[in-house]
Every structure is written in C-alpha cells, then in structure tokens.
Amino acid sequence: MTTVAELLIEALADHGVTQVWGVVGDALNPVTDAIRREERIEWVGVRHEEAGAFAASAQAQLGDRLAVCMGTVGPGAIHLLNGLYDAKKSHAPVLAICGQVPREEMGSDFFQEVDNDALFADVSVFNQTVTSVDQLPGLIEQAGNAALQLRGVAVLTLPGDVGGLDLPSGTPVPRFVTDVPATTPTPESLEAAAAAVNAADHVTLLVGQGARHARTEVLELAARLQAPMVLTLKAKEGLEEGNPYEVGQSGLIGNRATKVAFDGCDLLFLVGTDFPYKDFLPDGKTVVQLDVRGAHIGRRTPVDHPLVGDSRLGLQALLPMLEAKDDRALLDESRSTYQEWREHQQRYVDPAYDRKPAGLLRRKIDNPDARVRPELLAAMVDRYAADDAVFTTDTGMSTVWLSRFVRMTGTRRLIGSYNLGSMANAMPQALGAAALDRSRQVVAFCGDGGLSMLLGDLITAVSHDLPVKLVVFDNGRLGMVKLEMEQVGLPEYGTVLHNPDFARVAEAMGMRGIRVEQARDVEEAVREAMAHDGPVLLDVLTNPDEIAVPPTPTLEQGWGFAIAKSREFVDSAE
C-alpha cells in the first residue's frame, strides 16, 4: 500500500528534487516520514520556514526543475509566505506543501487553523487542499505542472489526517511536464520592427535576464547596429563578460554611461527585460520590445513594435532582416563614459583611501581608520571568488557593491530578491544554492540588517554541511534606508543597528567566523574566507556613510543630502 505522502515524495524524487526545506510537525509528519525513507531526497530542517522558502526559490532559479519547501499547520505555513512571494516574482517553480487541521475540524476555527486557500491565493499559480484520495494522483500532477509551466508557486495543502491515507493499489506515480516550447514572433511583427530599426540612426539595447540564453544573438545584434548595450542587474549573469558593447546597469544602482546611451539613441530595443524603473528609461524614442511574455510588453514604456517570442528565436529571425550600421559615435561615447566611470570607481578599492582626512560625511565615525569601504570588500571578493561561484545579494547596499565591483564571468551565477526586493534573502538563498552542489563555491553578500532577520538559519549551514561563504557588509545601519532618507533631506532615523560581533556569533554556532575592522586586513581575510573548506562568515565593519551615486544624481538629491547632513549635525550637537 502507498500513502498519499509516499506518492507525493516518490513523484518529487522521480522528477529530480534533491532537497525539501522546512520545519517538521503535526499534519506533515507522514510527509517527513516518507522523506526519511526516500534516499534520493534530503530533508533540510530550517529554523524559520521563510528561510526554507527562500532556499527553494534559489534552487528553482538555478536549476531546471521544481524546488520544494514545507510549512505545517497555521503559523508554519504563514512563515513561508515571504519566500514564496520571492519565488512568484522571480518566476521560480516552487512547490509548497502545507499542513492543515484534520478534515473533520476544517472550517471550525480549530486550533491553528487558517484558510490556506485564501492565504496563498495571491502568491500561487495553483492552490488546492487535498480532501480525498480520489483527487490523486491528479492534484499532485497539476500542482507540479502548474508551477513548471506557469513559472510560479504551487501550494498543496494536506489536512492532518490525509497524508497517511492509503491509496488504491495501482495509483500511478505523478509525472511532471518540463517541456516549454519556444515561440518565434510573427513574420509581420518582425518586418515592422526590422523596418523601424533600419530607419533609426542610433539604437541602444536594454537587455535583461530573458536574453541570457541568447548571448550569441544579442552580441550579433549589437555588432550589426553598433549599439551600446545596457544590462539589467540580472543580465550581468552570462552577458557581462567579454561583451564589448555593454555599458553596465541603469537605475539607482547604475552608472552615467547608461544615460548617455539612452539619451543618444533614437530607437530603444528592449530584449528579454521587464526592467521596472520607468524614470530611468528615455522618453520620445521609437521602442521595440522582444519578450516571451506578451503581457509584459508595454508595461514600462509605450512600445511601438512589440515582438512576442523567445529572445533567441526572435533575434535569429530578425537579424537577417537588419542592415548593418557603421556609425559608432553613440557606442564609442557610451563605452568611453563607462570606462572612465569604472576607472574612477577603482580609487575606492585602494585600502589607503580611507585614511585620507575625514570630511563632513565622515564626521560621525569615531575612528575613520576602523571603517572599511564596502567597495574594497566587494572588489576583493571579486578577486578571490571562484570563476564559477554562485553569488547571492541582500536587498540593500550590498547589491549595489556587487553590481559595481563583481564581474560575472561566463560561469558565475547571480541571484537575489531582485523583483520582490525583500531583505534577508541572501543567506538562505545561498543555503539553497549550496545544497544543489556542495562542491561549488557559493558567496552571499549580506547586509547586517538582512542577515540578522533570519540569523537563526546560520545554524542550518553547519547542521546540514552547506559550505557557504557569508560576507557581511556590517555598516551598523539599515544603509539603503539611511540613503533614502538623506536623499530627500531627512536626517537618518531608526536606521542604526546595534549589532553583535557576527564572527563570534558564527563561531558560537560552529562555523568559521572572521572579523575585519581595518582596511589593510580585508584582502587577506577575503582570501582566507574564500579558501575555507566549510561554512564561513566574514564580518567586515564597513563605512555607513558610503554613498552610491546614481547615474543621474539630481540637484534635489544633492540638496537633500546636504540638508540631511546639516540636520544630523545640528541634532547631534543639541
């Protein structure tokens, strides 16, 4: 006899799932028992279900199959929610198995009962409670297929008395459909777009993660059009290295070369991107957008020529229709601005830079020597991390430092909570990545605020032998919020964090902990951390007053900053 739980776990193992993340308990005990007996699946018991959901979200983004997390009745399921939203907004196929009170109690406001079907309605592409064995194997198959085909979260809820129910003999093991056929834009839309591109003098490309698999075609497009290429943060992966057309990122994390490229074009060509910050996109340009999701076309800027289809197939079809351009003026100007900016950034990487006299901005730091520039830390990690490392970054300033100082070689991978923008994602996402391949280096760029939100799951790295390299940008602040406040002229408030020595916390939890307080010690500490055979936390006291200047700093932002600083000065003098 096979039980409901056994059927579910066998289906997941057959599909290639290697871990299930969560916290054990009550309604899901039959499921964890089935995992215990299934050699192909490892149970990773986390300390907070949100960490498990983030880990699963990371696994689903890095792999080509379902990733799975569990949260048991009521609060355990609720704790999954933020990590599941991350999966939803990253289009990551995640299955969440949730517990429920026994069927006879459902609807009676029983102890711990919450309405999972209502709770997960917005986050999921599929969301059902199994109330009868007659629904199987269908519901399991539908859940997996919905997550894989619609690229999102499927929630299967199991009431306490359902997981252990016997199934009729001969119940087939559910199988999941992984094939997603690629589509080519229609010939009419290709012709219209080609005519517009051929008529344009200068084209700028904005390329996103949806074009990662179309590297050859995107580079050929840029070469044919002599077009500068702005990359979204997510497109750094796979498209940054060895790309003579790229000019870095736009948006708040970006650089001014992207503004040169955007302003100077008369046609903007968006490929595989849903870049949301419309304020950074130029107005008054002819716009071509190629995206596999037709519903995404035009939602960030009005589009003249939509191309609905896979970016690789779309460009393969379009390229023969495009005339070569020989005017390199915009490309050269954008690239030289980019090179200048990059060289300028390098001065922050000099360990001696912080020892220059402290100005107004560093007035509040007791000992300027004791604070490390985050740029230096990021650059050293770039230098010593493996060529095929997986990087994760927390929402906050650490994402800016990665964007600017870590190069994505062809084989490096990058994930973060880039669409949901949640804090606390980097460490648990790193756990998920490390579990997929313990021999591959995984480096998390953690904010001190982000890390401390799910701090308990540092233990998971030790208890489950996950050799993550956790780099903590310990600025004693909710740094990005401090910057937001100061840019609009508010003095920083509520942003100071009273942190423990995270390296000692890590050591107490059984992992290697390294603390750095001086710029001169950064390089050696990073080298040691990256070479460490096992989980390690590198706690670096970074300068909280470091500013990441956006590509087009406005006068208002400059004034806001000055006013905020003078208010802080007055406040602290009072």
Q: Give me the residues that bind ligand TPP (CB under 6 A), please.
A: 394-398, 421-423, 447-450, 473, 475, 477-481
Distance CA 292, CA 211 (A): 10
Tokens of 495: 């942003």
Report yes or no: 143 and 156 within 8 Å, Cβ to Cβ: yes
Q: How far is the CB of 483 from ligand TPP (least distance, A)?
A: 8
Q: What is the DSSP string of 239-300?
A: HSTT-TTB----STT--HHHHHHHHH-SEEEEES-----GGGSPSS-EEEEEES-GGGTTSS
Distance of CA 207 to the CA centre of its chain: 17
Q: How far is the CB of 98 from ligand TPP (least distance, A)?
A: 21
**Helices marked H in 21-171 — which ranges?**
29-36, 49-62, 75-78, 81-89, 116-119, 138-150
Q: How far is the CB of 542 from ligand TPP (least distance, A)?
A: 8
User: Is the Cβ of residue 338 or residue 418 nearer to ligand TPP in the bound state?
Assistant: 418
Q: How far is the CB of 450 from ligand TPP (least distance, A)?
A: 4
Strands 124-129 and 94-100: unpaired
Strands 286-291 and 124-129: unpaired
Provide the edge-to-edge strand list for the sheet that holds 286-291. 229-231, 203-207, 267-271, 286-291, 305-308
Q: Where are the beta strands (DSSP E) in 364-488?
A: 390-393, 413-416, 442-447, 469-474
User: Is the Cβ of residue 214 or residue 400 nearer to ligand TPP in the bound state?
Assistant: 400
User: Is the Cβ of residue 478 or residue 529 nearer to ligand TPP in the bound state?
Assistant: 478
Q: How far is the CB of 71 from ligand TPP (least distance, A)?
A: 17
User: Is the Cβ of residue 157 or residue 557 nearer to ligand TPP in the bound state?
Assistant: 557
Tokens of 42: 């490892």
Distance CA 522, CA 381 (A): 9
User: Is the Cβ of residue 41 or residue 397 nearer to ligand TPP in the bound state?
Assistant: 397
Q: How far is the CB of 565 from ligand TPP (least distance, A)?
A: 18
Tokens of 365: 């730091």
User: Is the Cβ of residue 176 or residue 401 nearer to ligand TPP in the bound state?
Assistant: 401
Which residue, 6, 117, 115, 96, is CA-closest to 52? 96
Provide the edge-to-edge strand list for the sheet that holds 442-447. 413-416, 390-393, 442-447, 469-474, 536-541, 512-516
User: Is the Cβ of residue 46 or residue 478 nearer to ligand TPP in the bound state?
Assistant: 478
Q: How far is the CB of 397 from ligand TPP (least distance, A)?
A: 3
User: Is the Cβ of residue 71 or residue 309 nearer to ligand TPP in the bound state?
Assistant: 71
Q: Which helix (H) or strand (E) holds 308?
A: strand 305-308
User: Is the Cβ of residue 138 or residue 277 nearer to ligand TPP in the bound state?
Assistant: 277
Phi and psi of 208, rounded to 5°?
A: -115, -175
Q: Which residue is nearest to ligand TPP (CB)?
A: 447
Q: How far is the CB of 161 from ligand TPP (least distance, A)?
A: 35
**Helices marked H in 346-457 — which ranges?**
374-384, 397-405, 426-436, 448-453
Q: How far is the CB of 77 from ligand TPP (least distance, A)?
A: 18
Q: How far is the CB of 25 from ligand TPP (least distance, A)?
A: 24
Q: How far is the CB of 86 from ligand TPP (least distance, A)?
A: 10
User: Is the Cβ of residue 61 or residue 422 nearer to ligand TPP in the bound state?
Assistant: 422
User: Is the Cβ of residue 208 or residue 374 nearer to ligand TPP in the bound state?
Assistant: 374
Which residue, 325, 313, 183, 186, is CA-closest to 267? 325
Return the half-sphere exposure (C-beta side, CA atoms, 13 A cut-off) of residue 194: 19
Distance CA 307, CA 185 (A): 5
